[in-house]
Amino acid sequence: MSRRITVSVLRKMKEEGEKIVCLTAYDSSFARIQEAEGVEVILVGDSLGMVIQGHGSTLPVTIEDMVYHARCVSRVTRTAMVMADMPFMSYRNSDQALLNAARLMQEGGACAVKLEGGAEICDTVSHLSRWGIPVCGHLGLQPQSVNKIGGYRIQGRTESQARQLIEHARMLEDAGADMLVLECIPATLARQITQDVRIPVIGIGAGVDCDGQVLVMHDLLGMNPHPPRFVQNFMIEADSISSAIHAYIHAVKQQTFPGAEQQFD
């Protein structure tokens, strides 16, 4: 029986230049399909607030929602790493973050948790890491801060923003983060950050040179009537959901996705 993928496996993939495939799932049926096709990291994302619950953002999602959906996914997976988002206001301080991360792992069966933020969450990342909780950081566009930043905007385009993102990536790694997601930043900046840190970097709208890619599954399947620019609809040439996911995996591994049309300058 194959062992479950861990952060050490993902770090080795980065070292060897093998691209990491990540995809969101929120229930057992899609989790089974993704694992059978070979997705390495299944993200139980707070994007469920939009694609499952019908909200206009991720902000209404609760820790109870995340525990429930993580449990649905982890219950049927055996090899994929199950990573769960920590929702809005669930990690306001280190102690609260530890309690909620513990719930996601103990009750939800998650193998790792993901937090949005840079320098301001480094103490929390360090606290979780000391207690043996694998942590993924999230820089660039941070959907939980959409009201603060004024919408879903590309980040890191100015020189000062780029310098800050590079600095925060290093700080998160030093604090004990095991992985990093970069969302909606220029491809050249994402390449620099990916080369600058030792931890695996997963991109979404961040160019082909990240160590791996993640998409919201519903976007990949063409279910979003207004998909972001960085999305490719893999269902167009597929005859089943399984074959669409397989095509996505192949495209990530062969570095044909994302293409020039799905990245930002």
Give the span between the Cα atoms of 154 and 172, in whole angstroms. Answer: 21
Structure tokens at 105: 């792992």
User: Which residues of the chain fall below pLDDT 70?
Assistant: 1, 149-151
Q: pLDDT for 8-55, tens place per residue?
A: 999 999 999 999 999 999 999 999 999 999 999 999 999 999 999 999
- CA-CA-CA-CA torsion sign (101, 122, 192, 153): positive
With 0-12 / 13-18 / 19 or more C-beta atoms within 10 angstroms meaning exposed / middle / buried, residue 191 is: middle
How many C-beta neighbours within 10 Å does residue 224 have?
15
Give the list of residues 6+ apart from residue 175 with CB closer than 8 angstroms, or none.
Answer: 122, 123, 125, 126, 129
pLDDT attached to residue 169: 98
Phi then psi for 56, rounded to 5 degrees?
Answer: -85, -5
Structure tokens at 109: 């069966």
**What is 18-255's CATH superfamily?**
Phosphoenolpyruvate-binding domains (3.20.20.60)
What is the pTM (predicted TM-score) of this model? 0.96
| Catalytic residue positions, numbered | 183
